[in-house]
């Protein structure tokens, strides 16, 4: 989904941020589930992990001293694997440790650069993960049809997300696009399924079925999302019908009345143009700047 939003240039949009936020919470719940499902009992030293919060300035310092070359992704790997092993030492699932370290690094000034450097590795590891699942069992036609039946439920997932977002007072367009990007089977669900196989809760055949469903959902979402805005332009009246009358403050758009001239950008040149036009046209001139209209 992140790759889909990047390709369409919508990572920083309202619906893009919302969808990523939902996925982060899903992943957090999945990691917590994995930590509990292993049945490990934390040692008394686990309380010392609270000290990681106070080590955050040290993490930022390490990243700032790593420069912009190969040392930066290496530092990221070191911290993630270090967090994993630290949590394992105190009897807690290591995946949760890597997640906590990632959360601590998210506020670093170099977090964005580090994320871009590690994203390619993430894709490589994901390919290796899918490859390892492929070694589990050879898919047959019954498995494929079962996966297809699971994929048929994807529209239901879309409608559930859309109904939830509209009830939370989001605009119809935002709710529609966010729900559409989330209408797939998350690969994190596949990781949880792999843990379920290791613990004996499900058979290996179900892991293959879920992996096929994930692949089918990726194809479905990437195909439909390419026409998402075109579909919205044709169905916007129907989509807006499900909006709630009340809007969130962040979604309230100030519409200037009787405005005829808009000056975009109020830097040195823009401010001069705005004041010159305002002296001639009065309140019919509006200026647009990052903090809002003036």
Cα(288)–Cα(278) distance, integer angstroms: 14
Task: Using the predicted structure, report yes or no on whether residue 144 has a pLDDT greater than 90.
Answer: no
Percent of the chain scoring above 70 in pLDDT: 97
* CB contact at 8 A, 161 and 172: no
Residue 174: band (very low, low, confident or very high) from pLDDT cuts 50, 70, 90: very high
Q: Where are the domains of the chain?
A: 2-240, 254-293
Q: Where are the beta strands (DSSP E) in the chain?
A: 261-264, 285-289, 292-293
Residue 173: band (very low, low, confident or very high) from pLDDT cuts 50, 70, 90: very high
208-242 tens-digit pLDDT:
888 888 888 888 888 888 888 999 999 999 999 99
pLDDT at 232: 92
pLDDT at 3: 76
Task: Using the predicted structure, report yes or no on whether residue 291 has a pLDDT greater than 60.
Answer: no
Task: Using the predicted structure, report yes or no on whether residue 133 has a pLDDT greater than 80.
Answer: no
Rounded to a whole number of angstroms, the distance between the first and last alpha carbons of the chain is: 37
pLDDT mean over 145-157: 87
pLDDT at 290: 63
> Within 10 A of 151 (CB to CB), how many other CB atoms are there?
19
- Token pair 């079962």 is found at 146
Lookup: tokens for 65? 């001293």
156 or 119, which is more confident: 156
Q: For the purposes of burial, counting CB atoms within 10 Å of the CB of 202, is it exposed (0-12), middle (13-18) or buried (19 or more)? A: middle
pLDDT at 85: 92
Percent of the chain scoring above 90 in pLDDT: 13
Task: Report which listed range, 37-46, 78-87, 126-135, 250-259, is most confident.
Answer: 78-87
* CB contact at 8 A, 285 and 263: yes
Least confident of 51-55, 191-195, 240-244, 252-256: 252-256
According to DSSP, the β-strands at 285-289 and 292-293 are: antiparallel
């Amino acid at each position: 989904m992140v790759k889909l939003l990047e390709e369409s240039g919508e990572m920083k949009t309202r619906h893009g941020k919302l969808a990523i936020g939902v996925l982060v919470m899903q992943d957090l719940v999945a990691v917590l589930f994995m930590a509990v499902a292993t049945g490990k009992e934390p040692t008394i030293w686990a309380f010392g992990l609270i000290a990681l919060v106070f080590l955050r300035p040290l993490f930022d310092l390490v990243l700032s001293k790593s420069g912009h070359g190969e040392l930066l992704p290496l530092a990221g790997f070191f911290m993630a694997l270090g967090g994993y092993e630290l949590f394992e030492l105190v009897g807690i699932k290591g995946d949760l440790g890597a997640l906590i370290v990632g959360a601590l690094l998210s506020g670093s000034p170099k977090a964005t650069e580090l994320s871009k450097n590690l994203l390619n590795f993430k894709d490589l590891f994901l390919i290796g993960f899918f490859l390892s699942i492929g070694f589990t069992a050879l898919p047959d036609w019954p498995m494929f049809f079962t996966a297809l039946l699971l994929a048929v439920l994807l529209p239901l997932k879309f409608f559930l997300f859309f109904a939830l977002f509209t009830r939370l007072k989001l605009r119809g367009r935002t709710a529609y696009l966010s729900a559409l990007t989330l209408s797939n089977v998350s690969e994190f669900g596949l990781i949880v399924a792999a843990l379920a196989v290791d613990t004996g809760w499900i058979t290996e055949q179900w892991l293959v079925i879920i992996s096929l469903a994930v692949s089918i959902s990726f194809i479905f979402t990437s195909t439909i999302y390419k026409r998402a805005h075109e579909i919205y332009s044709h169905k916007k009246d129907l989509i807006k019908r499900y909006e709630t009358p009340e809007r969130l403050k962040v979604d309230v758009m100030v519409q200037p009345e009787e405005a005829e001239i808009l000056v975009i950008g109020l830097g040195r040149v823009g401010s001069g143009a705005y004041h010159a036009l305002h002296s001639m046209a009065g309140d019919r001139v509006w200026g647009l700047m990052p903090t809002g209209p003036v």
